[in-house]
Structure 1
Amino acid sequence: MSRQRLKSDLPTKICPVCGRPFTWRKKWEKCWDEVKYCSERCRRRRSNDT
């Protein structure tokens, strides 16, 4: 069996909309480099000029 990682060991990013840190998720495994926002709500609230 593989050993589970601690949440503190996972990579994090800062959301440009709300300014909060968010942690890597399994569903972002293949596209982590493209992930910019912590949630769908922040993605919808992003400014139109970016």
Structure 2
Amino acid sequence: MGKMRRKAELPTKPCAACGRPFAWRRKWARDWDNVKYCSDRCRSAKSFEKRSGIAP
């Protein structure tokens, strides 16, 4: 089993929709470079803005 890390030691990036920082998760290990949103809610809100023409 791998070395345990504190959450503060994990890489973070800002969410494209809300701007809040979110941390790396194991399920994103292979696709971390392509992850843009912190949650499903932000992902769906961003696509809704594109469809409706609402500016953030």
Q: TM-score range by the shorter chain?
A: 0.7 to 0.9
What are the Cα deviations for residues 13-48 of structure 1, in whole angstroms up to 9, with x where unaligned? 101211111000000010000000000000001132
Give unpaired runs (5+ residues) of structure 2.
Answer: 52-56
Moved over 4 A (4+): none
> What is the RMSD of the two structures over their aligned residues, measured on CA atoms?
1.6
- Higher radius of gyration, 1 or 2: 2
The structure where helix makes up a greater share of residues is 2
Aligned residue in 2 for 1:3: 3
Deviation at 1:3, TM superposition (A): 2.8
- TM-score normalized with structure 1 length: 0.85
- TM-score normalized with structure 2 length: 0.77
Give unpaired runs (5+ residues) of structure 1.
Answer: none
Q: Percent identity?
A: 55
Q: How many residues align?
A: 49
Matched, 1:36 2:42: no
Q: Which amino acid aligns with 1:23?
A: A
